[in-house]
Structure 1
Amino acid sequence: MTLMEFFGCTFIAFGPPLAMFVFTIARDPLRVIVLIAGAFFWLLALLISSILWYAVVPLQNDLAFGLVFSVIFQELFRFLFYKLLRRADEGLQKVSQTAQTENVTPKDISNKHIMAYVSGLGFGIMCGAFSLINVLADMVGPGTIGIHGDSRLFFLTSAFLTLCFILLHTFWGVIFFHALDKKQYVVVAGVVASHMLVSCLSLLNERTEHRPEPLYLASIVPAYFIMILMAVVAFFMAGGSLKNIQNAFKCRKGRYEME
């Protein structure tokens, strides 16, 4: 039973991101490099957060303290990665012109939304891996889910929240980069605020003296609502429109009729 739960939660959390990687990134070596670089920058943010948490001994038992500064450092390193990519645009253009492979094209590099999407997915995948890997290790067994009075929804909730954060980081990357390109600093602040809000919602899953039972629904429902909102905003910022959606449905309908 625990093994089945392990594979189920793994596919819930990492199935959609894996599909996104395979169909949109894996064939392009430049995108793979940007993805790995984005993941590395998230690791740097985690390292700085860990150093601060380790240095401030009196607040080590306060999860909210570490969470707030973790979000701040993640967004700071997202900004630094944005600056790095923009400075590398000229060099990437030269690489694309001399590359012999068909996968690296000037069009791919000049589309800044693609790089924002890839870097955001890199942030999200690394964030999801560190969030869930220990939970998955305990999930394999031996034992039974819900033993010692713990909720049987803990693993499932962790998987869905991990998926939510991976997708949110992807959407946040697109919105964050576009807002900086257009100098829309209010939108940048909105990304940071929404990141802080969703992260603080995860504190509802913690047991405390005043809250003996975790509030899983109170954290998942608002988090997924914010995720859908961020997805819509990222879609339109990346150049999408209602007309594009209508054309996509028409093309799919035409293919079904031809078959």
Structure 2
Amino acid sequence: MTLMEFFGCTFIAFGPPFGLFVFTIARDPLRVIVLITSCFFWLLALLLSSILWSAVVPLKQHLAFGLVFSVLFQELFRFLFYKMLRKADEGLHKVSQQGQDQHVTPKDISNKHIMAYVSGLGFGIISGAFSLVNVLADMVGPGTIGIKGDSKYFFLASAFLTLCFVLLHTFWGIIFFNAFDKKRYVYVAVVVASHMLVSCLTLLNQKHNSQNYLGSIIPAYIVLVIMAGLAFYHAGGSIKNVKAACVFNRSNRYDTN
């Protein structure tokens, strides 16, 4: 039973991100490099958060203290990664201009939204891995959660929250990068505020009560839907484009029949 629970929660948390990686990133070496580099930047943010948490001894017992600064450090390193990518874009443009005769044009160079998506997914995957790996290790057994009065939904809630954060980081990356490109700094504040809000909602889960889990999961997924809409808008999407794509796909289907 514990093994079934382990695989079920693993697929819930990492199934959709794994699919995104396989179908949109794995075949492109440049995207893989950006993904791995973004993971490294998130690890640097975690390192600084850990150093601060260890240094401020009087507040080590307060989880909210470490959580707030962890969110701030993550967004700081998201910004640093954004600056690094934009500097790299300038170099790639020079390479592409010098190598036009040889058809040397780096892939994705003209679409900044793709790099924002890849970096956001990298942040999300490494964040999800660090938040759930230890839980998954305990999930295998022996025994199972709930024997000593704890909620039996702990593992399931952890899996759904991990998936939510992975997807949120992906959408936050798109919104964050585009906000700086277009100088719409209000959306940078939206990203930081929503990140802080969803992270603070997880503090409700300390009592391991199923009602507290719902109190954190439901608002988190509402924020996820809102961020998905904003990311779609910032990536250039619109309802008109969706309708046009649906009409195009329907006409192609009729043509093939």
Shorter-chain TM-score: which interval? over 0.9
Looking at structure 2, the residues matched to 256 and 141 of structure 1 have their Cα atoms a distance apart, in angstroms, of 50
- Write out per-residue CA displacement over residues 76-129 of structure 1, whole angstroms, 9 at most, x where no aligned residue: 000000010011112223556769xx9x95451221111100000000000000
Amino acid at match of 1:187: Y
CA distance in 2, matches of 1:26, 1:96: 23
The offset of 1:253, in angstroms, is 3.4
Q: What SS is found at the alignment partner of 1:83?
A: helix
**Mapping of 1:49-88 within 5 angstroms?**
49-88=49-88
User: Residue deviations 1:205-250, cap 9 Å, x none?
Assistant: 0129xxx776000000000000000000000110111122113323
Q: How far has the Cα of 1:15 moved from its partner?
A: 0.5
Moved more, 246-255 or 165-174: 246-255
In structure 2, C-alpha distance between the alignment counterparts of 1:251 and 1:227, rounded to whole Å: 29
- Aligned twin of 2:235: 238
Q: SS of 1:109's equivalent?
A: coil
Q: TM-score, normalised by structure 2?
A: 0.93
Q: Quote the residue 2:218 is aligned against.
A: 221
Q: In structure 1, how many angstroms separate the alpha carbons of the residues matched to 2:140 and 2:236? A: 43
Q: Which residue is 1:141 aligned to?
A: 141
The number of residue pairs the alignment matches comes to: 253
Taking the aligned partners of 2:211 and 2:206, their CA distance within structure 1 comes to 6
CA contact (8 A) 2:172 2:231 kept: yes
Q: Which amino acid aligns with 1:186?
A: V
Counterpart of 2:193 in structure 1 is 193
The 10-residue stretch of structure 1 (1-10 or 136-145) with the greater mean CA deviation from structure 2: 136-145
Matched residue of 2:109: which SS?
A: helix
- Cα shift at 1:190: 1.0
Percent of pairs identical after alignment?
Answer: 74
User: Relative to structure 1, is the Cα distance of residues 107 and 239 closer, same or farther in structure 2, using a 3 angstrom cutoff?
Assistant: farther
TM-score (norm 1): 0.92
RMSD over aligned CA atoms reads: 2.0
